[in-house]
Amino acid sequence: MASNLTFSFETYLVGGAVRDQLLNLPIIDRDWVVVGANYAQMLEHGFKSVGKDFPVFLHPDTHEEYALARQERKTGKGYHGFSVIADGTVSLEEDLSRRDLTINAIAKACDGRLIDPYNGIDDLNARVLRHVSIAFKEDPVRVLRLARFYARLYDFGFKIATETKQLISEMIAQGELNYLSPERIWIELSKALNGAHPDQFIACLRELGALKIILPEVDALFGIPQRPEYHPEIDSGLHTLMVMRQAALLNADADTLFACLCHDLGKATTPTHILPKHTQHESRGAVLAKKLAQRLKIPNDTQTLAIKVAKYHLYFHTLNQLRAVTILKLLLSLDALRRPLVLDQFILACIADERGRLCFEDREILQGEFLKECLIALKGIDAKQLLLTVDPAKIPEIIHLERLKKIKNVIKDYTWS
């Protein structure tokens, strides 16, 4: 949105908007940097201060974000270990120098001129993700952001510069990634799960050696074999990535993708003497998914779905062999009667699990339709009518029997091919 206001300071479009414009991608939001103004002057011009950690303001008309040009000095470990200088004396080049990647450090002046002191345009054209300066090391979140941009721009074929990989290896060796807060990890992970290639976010972190620090339970899956007759891809980590890929192709939401990420964690703790079998990996996986989700302080609904998918995905794969009582137990455990969306998410994660295997990608899967028919049948029970006709003490038992009858009818009428 254009603004009628005129200012005594300079403003430049920066970051993602410039990068995405140069890649001909749609611009999601526009961030601006302000050069030659201080905090008080911004307020005088009607900007509203919104930054908690940094001097960021909202434009009075457009409500777009304007940040004072700033420099940061490392004072401690992790994301909050910075002191910030933003007193109106910091130049545009100095501000761009503290940014993470060269492709994110291009500015555009109001007359359309591009200011690109770190050769971000060359890197955009050559499809390279490269750190701007050695200051990259000072904030471990940048490693997650790099993996996120790798995944986001995956279709463009971006590679990570060798010197950036080297720098990240040093950060890992110095323990800098251990200071990532759970909240920051979840923010970046959930953004990646909402993107088109969440599997590539995980693959990139692994390639960088960061997965074992951020998600050790997932990293441990790589190198664990599975039975080739069910899993021609063999490797459990690879399978997890393939499941995420299939889920993304089915437009799964972030919660479902997180469940896909965690669905087989139990395979990493299978006793070696039974490999490549994974007896009871579901219950072990549910415990690990809960531990991981609690460590990262992941929202309750997201946690619950991941735990349920880990625990019950084998029920889905063997559905046509299950008895009515087990199918009822599954639907009640998923709380499907009250939360049909959870059933949809569960079904989608399990379809992705079936298809996320080498040569199984195009499989037609009927279990989801079957479960939904069971749910419709259960919903058809007229509980009020039952309440009128039976002894109140017997109601739970009568409802249970009625539910079993309904599911048995669906089983009888269902054709699995």
Name the residue nearer to ligand ATP (CB basis): 15 or 266.
15
Structure tokens at 300: 């309750």
Q: Closest Cα to residue 285, out of 188, 231, 218, 226? A: 218
Name the residue nearer to ligand ATP (CB basis): 102 or 302.
102
Structure tokens at 224: 């664990």
Name the residue nearer to ligand ATP (CB basis): 107 or 305.
107
CA distances, 106 to each of 58, 145, 148, 320 (Å):
21, 17, 19, 57
52 CB-contact burial (10 Å; exposed 0-12 / middle 13-18 / buried 19+): exposed
In the complex, the smallest distance separating the C-beta of residue 245 from ligand ATP, rounded to whole angstroms, is: 21
Task: Give me the residue whose beta carbon is nearest to ligand ATP.
Answer: 16
Residues with Cβ within 8 Å of residue 107, at least 6 apart in sequence: 12, 13, 14, 18, 33, 92, 96, 114, 115, 116
Note whether 283 and 331 are within 8 A (CB). Answer: no
In the complex, the smallest distance separating the C-beta of residue 14 from ligand ATP, rounded to whole angstroms, is: 6
In the complex, the smallest distance separating the C-beta of residue 409 from ligand ATP, rounded to whole angstroms, is: 50
In the complex, the smallest distance separating the C-beta of residue 50 from ligand ATP, rounded to whole angstroms, is: 14
In the complex, the smallest distance separating the C-beta of residue 90 from ligand ATP, rounded to whole angstroms, is: 14
Name the residue nearer to ligand ATP (CB basis): 141 or 151.
141
In the complex, the smallest distance separating the C-beta of residue 175 from ligand ATP, rounded to whole angstroms, is: 18
Q: Is 385 helix (H, G, I), strand (E, B) or coil?
A: helix
Residues that bind ligand ATP (CB under 6 A): 15-16, 28, 31, 99-100, 104-105, 139, 141-142, 145
Name the residue nearer to ligand ATP (CB basis): 141 or 293.
141
In the complex, the smallest distance separating the C-beta of residue 295 from ligand ATP, rounded to whole angstroms, is: 22
Name the residue nearer to ligand ATP (CB basis): 132 or 221.
132
Q: Is 143 helix (H, G, I), strand (E, B) or coil?
A: helix
Evaluate the omega torsion of the peptide bond into residue 26 and state whether it is cis, within 30 degrees of 0.
no
Name the residue nearer to ligand ATP (CB basis): 153 or 336.
153
d(CA 356, CA 98): 40
CA torsion angle 255 375 327 322 (round to 10) = -110
Torsions phi, psi of 68, nearest 5? -65, 140
